[in-house]
Amino acid sequence: MKRFIKPQLVLSIFTVLFLFLETAFTQDAFEVIDHRDDGIGRANESIVAADGTVFLANGRDGMRAYSFDGNSFTNIAHIDNGGEALGLALTDDGTILLANGSDGLRAYTFDGSVFTNTAHIDSGGSAQGVVVSNDETVFLANDEDGLRAFSFDGSSFVQKGHINQGGSAKNIAVGDDGTIFLASYDDGLRAYTYSEGTFINEAIYDDNGSAWDVAVAYGGTVFLANEAEGVISLVYNGSSFTKKSVKQFGWSYSVSISSGGNIFVANNYGVIAYTYDSQLHIFIDVGYVNNVPSSSGVIASSDSTIFLSSTSGLRAFSLNGSTFTNTAHTNQAGGSAESLTIGADGSVYLGNSYNGLHTYSLDENTLINKDYLETGHRVLDIGTSSDGTVFIGNSSDGLRAYLYNDDAFNEMAFSSYEIAAMEVVEGPDGTIFIANNYRGLSALTYDGTDFVNSAQIDEGGTAQGVAVGDNGTVFLANGNSVKAYSYDGAFFTGIGSVSPFGNARGIAVGLDGTVFVALGYGGLRAYTFDGASFTDAGYIKDGGNYSAWDVAVGTDGTVFLAYHSVGLFAYSYDGSSFTKNGFVNNSTDPTINTYVDVVVGNDGTIYSAQSGDGLYAYNYTGYSASYNSPPTASDTTITLTSSSYIFGLDDFNYSDESEMSKITITRLEDKGSLEFFEEDDWKEVVQYQDISKEDIEAGNFRYVYDGAITDSTNFLFRVHDGNSFSRFHYIVSLNLTNVLSIDQDRFIPEKYSLQQNYPNPFNPTTTIKYNLPKSGKVTLSLYNLLGQNVLEMVNENKPAGSHSYLLNGHDLSSGIYFYRIESGTFSASRRFLLIK
């Protein structure tokens, strides 16, 4: 029988987890209480009592109680009465109810050190989920036995009602009016009324046999987690269900609703957070996390500590709070680009998960596909040696070596041992090092015809990336850790390890030996390594809840980070902190076309592999800027030239350096406008809500800083905060040199396109990108749901190339809007959601 172990108190605290995608987690503790190796335990669900005690249903290991001091767990009690601990609930008096699989239903009291089993009932079946209604009736989802109701007096259960209409009862929810909703695999969703021992089936929704979990929102909307369809919203009127909306992403097994109304869905990929518009009946993405595998239960204590149970045990978390020049692009490969590298001769090799290996040369602004090799397997990574050998790691095939010459690939060697080679690199002495997802770290010698496995070490984890320092130290990105090894030609010796939060995926060594690690949802970290220990030396996370996938270091020390659905970032690093100096995202659909690999050529060209969108080549020219010091009250003149920028500062907090490549004047404040005062009358110099205006001409501008009008010829500038003009700001000039910009002569799109805005939903700003294959008049308009034009965002001639518009929604109401572009004969529309 197909089986899923699911939580009851699952995801209600994910409101805390997803504070609008800006919040990061710190893992405070991790307790390995998973005993799957001996066939005993599996952490299924945790709950937190009023005194902070954490109770864990741990499969065939029984139930455990832990204290938690903010840093570590202490196991203070354990009980195992057989069965399989699957689901937990707490009564108002603190009694713990345990759905214990084939053992039935049990009740326990806990005195701080000892569990006491106060009641037990086994009515057959397999107890999967338990819930307590407002009148203290206990309802049990009992797998193939159906639904049962019990009274509980503190010492015994008395069965009051039972109904079994087929299927496999997985979990229960009780509505505000007492309606009982039962999710049954192979049967669907049923609604029951219950009175004095009798269940009455009022309605059924046939979900094609894949129901796993159910939750009811305030107001009555019912949400069903469905393996086949995702999460489904339904309205129940007392006699029938009406299906309203479906959000399909993965196989949904669990659904929960927070007190704030967010919908949380656990599926085979991870956990997703949604808001739900009950009038329009649409799901709106809020956040996503999947760095803890097979999470089955999560709960928050009163101090906001988050306890997460999963197949890997029990974890505790706390909460804490400019562009590139696109020189070329190709998607000739199709499929899903996953890996790339650069040969000694400058050839670019692109690995594709579906259709093998492509090699390219870059001729100014064109990537030329020189050859193609059908590998027959998913290409996980590509490495090259100084003599031009190309090494290919295939997912189900092993490691192969090729020489590429005369426009053809010639196979030289093969090793079936290195299946799932996630990264292949060459050390200073020619040794080939492999991060192998299944076998840890390997070292191989290669003589031109054969591979010889010289050493191998596997310390657990999931080896995903490898890099070698100039002194021969081998660094391994190992999933839950970063490890350092020495290698003597025959053996690896572990010499250092660090366990950062996140999933260590990509790793690179800087020019000065700094180790940079792409940590998935944990962002980007820098470490120094002294030969024995790692020291955390810098951290940045710009990708919200998306995953930092790979990292590379340029010839000038610039750090490039491929950030999955977000884009490609460029950072400078000063030894203690990162500064974002550039960003690009050419993806037409960030949910499909994601940045997964990045390498830097000897000439400084940056190559990025996008799954679903092929290969991109970029030039990155660097960034520099000089700021004029904030003026004093007596310093009353600002001189602006055609290359100057101005921006407002309120205690130096309102500078905006984003998208500097596309502006001549930065916005003064997200919500604001700039005005000046002359002869007792405020006059508007310029008012704007985006960063693409050019309304202030070069010239001299006079003002006074302190508000005292000493001369009618002086101007007093102030910034509007959206509500009043009461706040005064410095006005500071900014002179930029070596400004990054789109080079229209080097990258002209082949066709018109209007991209989905990002982020979406948003508050208050979002970016809309569009491509023009030729110059012409462009209108970009915004409409509400009534079809009324509420904003003309662009209405002017634009040159051919890629463009963007930053929309500030400060003056717009929350809701759904449509934006439409027209240029020549081309037109297209998309929609977004503004949430305030």
Q: What is the CATH number of the domain that holds 811?
A: 2.60.40.1930
Question: What domain count does the chain have?
Answer: 4
Residue 56 in any domain: the answer is yes
Is the pLDDT reported for residue 19 higher than 70? Answer: no
User: Is residue 493 in a domain?
Assistant: no
Give the residue-averaged pLDDT of 39-64.
73
pLDDT of residue 323: 31
> What band does 180 get if pLDDT is binned at 50, 70 and 90?
very high
Specify whether 243 is located in the same domain as 266: yes
User: 124 and 76 in one domain?
Assistant: yes
446 belongs to a structural domain:
no
3-state secondary structure 391-428: EEEECCCEEEEEEEECCEEEEEEEECCCCCEEEEEECC
| Owner of token pair 């390890």 | 497
Rounded Cα–Cα distance for residues 577 and 561 (Å): 15
Query: If pLDDT is split at 50, 70 and 90, which confidence band does 400 have?
Result: confident
- pLDDT for residue 163 is more than 90: yes
pTM of the complete model:
0.39
226 located within any domain: yes
Confidence label for 230 from pLDDT (cuts 50, 70 and 90): confident
Q: How would DSSP label each residue in 317-371?
A: EEEE--B-EEEEEE-TT-S-EEEEEE-TTS-EEEEETTTEEEEEEEETTEEEEEE
Q: Is 634 exposed, middle or buried (0-12, 13-18, 19+ CB in 10 A)?
A: exposed
Residues 300 and 292 sit within 8 Å (Cβ to Cβ): no
Residues in the chain: 836
CA nearest 326: which of 567, 578, 580, 579?
567
* CA count, 13 A, side-chain hemisphere, 363: 5
Q: How far is CA 646 from the centre of its chain?
A: 34
523 and 557 both lie in a single domain: yes
CA distance 241 to 207: 11
Considering the domain architecture, whether residues 216 and 264 belong to the same structural domain is answered as yes
Domain final position from 298, 329, 360: 329
Q: Is the pLDDT of residue 611 over 90?
A: no
Residue at a domain's end among 736, 771, 805: 736
Q: What are phi and psi of 542, to 5 degrees?
A: -110, 0
710/617 same-domain check = no
Worst-scoring range by mean pLDDT, 100-114, 278-292, 410-424, 782-796? Answer: 278-292
User: 110 and 52, same structural domain?
Assistant: yes
Please check whether residue 141 is in contact with residue 149, taking contact to mean a CB–CB distance below 8 angstroms.
Answer: no
Q: Which residue, of 329, 354, 382, is where some domain finishes?
A: 329
Q: H-helix or E-strand containing 643?
A: none
Q: Which domain holds residue 597?
A: 517-623
Contact 480, 500 (CB under 8 A): no
Cα distance between residue 769 and residue 587, in whole Å: 10
Question: What average pLDDT does range 608-618 have in this prediction?
Answer: 51
CATH code, domain carrying 676: 2.60.40
The pLDDT value recorded for residue 27 is 41
- Which residues have C-beta within 8 Å of that of residue 661, sequence separation ≥ 6? 322, 323, 739, 740, 741, 742
Place 709 in a pLDDT band, splitting at 50, 70 and 90: very low
Does 515 have pLDDT greater than 90?
yes
Residue 618: strand pairing partners: 326, 606
Contact of 214 with 255, CB cutoff 8 Å = yes
pLDDT of amino acid 255: 81
Is residue 280 domain-resident?
Answer: yes
Q: Mean pLDDT, to the nearest integer, of 5-20?
A: 30
Backbone angles phi, psi at 116, to 5 degrees: -125, 120
Q: What is the three-state SS of 574-598?
A: CCCCEEEEEEECCCCCCCCCEEEEE
Least confident of 62-71, 283-292, 294-303, 561-570: 294-303
Cα–Cα distance for residue pair 172/140, rounded to 1 Å: 8
What is the Cα–Cα distance from 115 to 80, expressed in whole angstroms? 10
Q: How confident is the model at residue 154 (pLDDT cuts 50, 70, 90)?
A: very high
Query: Which tens digit of pLDDT belongs to each residue from 314-339?
Result: 545 432 323 344 344 344 434 454 55
Tokens 């309203």, residue? 244
pLDDT digits (tens, 9 = 90+) for 523-582: 899 999 999 999 999 988 876 656 777 888 877 788 888 776 666 777 888 888 888 766
Say if residue 187 is in the same domain as residue 271: yes
pLDDT band at 357 (very low <50, low <70, confident <90, very high): low
* Predicted pLDDT of residue 65: 87
**Residue 73 zone, left/alpha/beta (φ > 0; ψ -120 to 50; rest):** beta
